[in-house]
Chains A and B, each alone.
Chain A
Amino acid sequence: MKPSYLAELRAHRYTFLYLVRIYLLLRYQRTALGFLWTLLNPLLTMTVTAVVFSMVLRIEMRAYAIFLLAGSIPWLCFSNTVLQSVGIFINNEGLIKKVYVPKLIFPAALATSALLDSVLSACALLLIVIVLGAQLSVHLLFLPVAFVLLYLFASSVGLLISVATVYFRDLQYVATHLLQLAYFLTPVLYPLDLIPPKFHGLYALNPMVPFVELFRAPIYRNQLPDAAVIASACVIGVATLAVALTVFRRYEDRLVFRL
């Protein structure tokens, strides 16, 4: 009888919490500005992109900056989670081969630290958005829900790719490029309206689209996301988690032999 994953994580909660802490600390340890980079990093990226693209797309810079910031919050959270998940089992080979730890703990702790990182940088980005003159609306209270749904999806994709990478090491390199491609296929830099309608069907296949909308609606348009958007985010999140856990359950005992 295998104990359930939740029971196992609970039994090893101190390890889980400590790993979350470590992943947060290590990200910016020994840099002069330390934790400030959590805030500065997305900000600098955004500034460059906002200046360049408001010129290219000939949109008013301030509105575009808010638009871009809103879409970047979910995208950065997703891509950070996936990029760091890639090597998580390989990097912990030493521990996994030496002492029993529930293996789910590594991707789970990593996704959680990436989420916390994103929430913090989202707070900073929201401040910028307010400085740029966006209206504060009560709809911003939806953001915690948006983060929960995004976490569900991002951590599931992270779990899948972390297992797959043990078997196909090439994914460590492929993942960067796949994410780059996905970035341009997701309406973060540009609004969906700019895309000819005949391609909109393709965008319906992109699972990140509803998650970007979950953030953009409250921040950029001052409204709640459509019920349909929320529903599809829920379905995508839960379905991905189910697939990820099924795959993980099948391979968790064999991972150690392939490290």
Chain B
Amino acid sequence: MEHAIAVDGVSLKFRLYHDKGGTLKQSFASLLRRDTKRIYTDFWALKDINLRIVDGERVGIIGANGAGKSSLLKTICRIYAPETGEVRIQGSIAPLLEVGAGFHPELTGRENILLNGVILGQTPRRMAELEPAIIAFSGLEDFIDTPVKYYSTGMYLKLAFTVATSVRADILVLDELFAGGDAAFVERGMERLRKLIGEARIIVCVSHQLQFLESICSRVLLLEHGRVSADGTPREIIALYQERSRAAAAAR
């Protein structure tokens, strides 16, 4: 099967609420007063993105903070539904975004491994096979039957990282924030990640480590204010980005 990602005319709108969560009180109040002062402003995180990523490509995404990099990744993973346009995916997809949030605090490490596995599309049988290797790699043998709410931050990150990277998928979507644990673990983790990157058919990744991107990517996109402003080989796009960052810094 040919694996591919097609992004057609995708725009993503965020509604920024000035006070998190409308309350009943506010709604009643604005009903009564009929005032037009809105409690939100709209913000377009992505504007008319068109993109074709085909089998074998390793695509890096760079851009300043707030340019829409993570939003684009989350839209590709279907976590965000675009306001207009559509995303079509052929192949299984593994989202390696911010690590760690997907655990249920009351469940034990072992139970969370299974929960995360089935959510990522594995069968319970497959997860039972993978479980020993996951426990061994994370180095949490002694704590695996303890609820994760008693874990230290490091233990939590290790387990989350190991579970997320244990699932094989055709398409790997990788965010930079995706790493953690102590130095020794980060080193082992990077090795594991590299192996995963080597095996996946398509990679889409966001990073500020330009060297890392240059070493693994075959293509780089530059995002600026929610638009793809440049698309080409890693060398030329990274050079362009550095030049523009310098210019922006000089102008300030």
- CB <8 Å contact, A167 and B79: no
Q: Mark B64-96, 1 if CB is under 8 A from A, else 0.
A: 000000000010011111000000000000010
Nearest residue, chain A, Cβ from B125: A14
Q: How many residues of A contact B (CB 8 A)?
A: 27
Query: Is residue B27 within 8 Å, beta carbon to beta carbon, of the partner chain?
Result: yes
- CB <8 Å contact, A168 and B101: no
Q: How far is the CA of A256 from the CA of B83 in the complex (A)?
A: 13
- CB <8 Å contact, A168 and B23: yes
Within 8 A of B (CB), among A153-205: 167-171, 174
Query: Is residue B144 within 8 Å, beta carbon to beta carbon, of the partner chain?
Result: no
- CB <8 Å contact, A95 and B102: yes
Known: A15-B118, A99-B95. A170 touches B106 (CB 8 A): no
Residues of B within 8 Å of A97, CB to CB, are: 74, 79, 101
- CB <8 Å contact, B115 and A170: no
Known: A97-B79, A98-B98. A257 touches B21 (CB 8 A): no
Query: Is residue B119 within 8 Å, beta carbon to beta carbon, of the partner chain?
Result: yes
Within 8 A of B (CB), among A41-99: 93-99
Within 8 A of A (CB), among B131-155: none
- CB <8 Å contact, B103 and A94: yes
- CB <8 Å contact, B115 and A18: yes
Partner of B106, one of A29, A94, A254: A29
- CB <8 Å contact, A257 and B115: no
Q: Mark B25-43, 1 if CB is under 8 A from A, else 0.
A: 1010000000000000000
Minimum C-beta distance from B127 to chain A (A) = 9
Nearest residue, chain B, Cβ from A91: B104
- CB <8 Å contact, A98 and B79: yes
- CB <8 Å contact, A170 and B23: yes
Partner of A168, one of B14, B27, B106, B118: B27
- CB <8 Å contact, A256 and B79: yes
Residues of B within 8 Å of A14, CB to CB, are: 118, 122-124
Residues of B within 8 Å of A29, CB to CB, are: 106
Known: A29-B106, A170-B25. A98 touches B118 (CB 8 A): no
Residues of B within 8 Å of A22, CB to CB, are: 104, 107, 111, 115
Chain A interface residues (CB < 8 Å from chain B): 14-15, 18-19, 22, 26, 29, 93-101, 167-171, 174, 253-254, 256-258
Cβ contacts A to B, 17 pairs, < 8 Å: A15-B118, A15-B119, A19-B115, A26-B107, A94-B103, A96-B79, A98-B97, A98-B101, A99-B79, A99-B95, A167-B22, A169-B21, A170-B23, A253-B81, A256-B81, A257-B15, A258-B17
Could you list 7 further interchain pairs (A-B, Cβ under 8 angstroms) beyond the known A97-B74, A98-B97, A253-B81?
Answer: A93-B101, A95-B102, A95-B119, A98-B95, A100-B78, A101-B119, A169-B23
Chain B interface residues (CB < 8 Å from chain A): 14-15, 17, 21-25, 27, 74, 77-81, 95, 97-98, 101-104, 106-107, 111, 114-115, 118-120, 122-124
Query: Closest 7 A-B residue pairs measured CB to CB?
Result: A253-B81, A94-B101, A100-B78, A14-B118, A170-B24, A169-B21, A15-B118
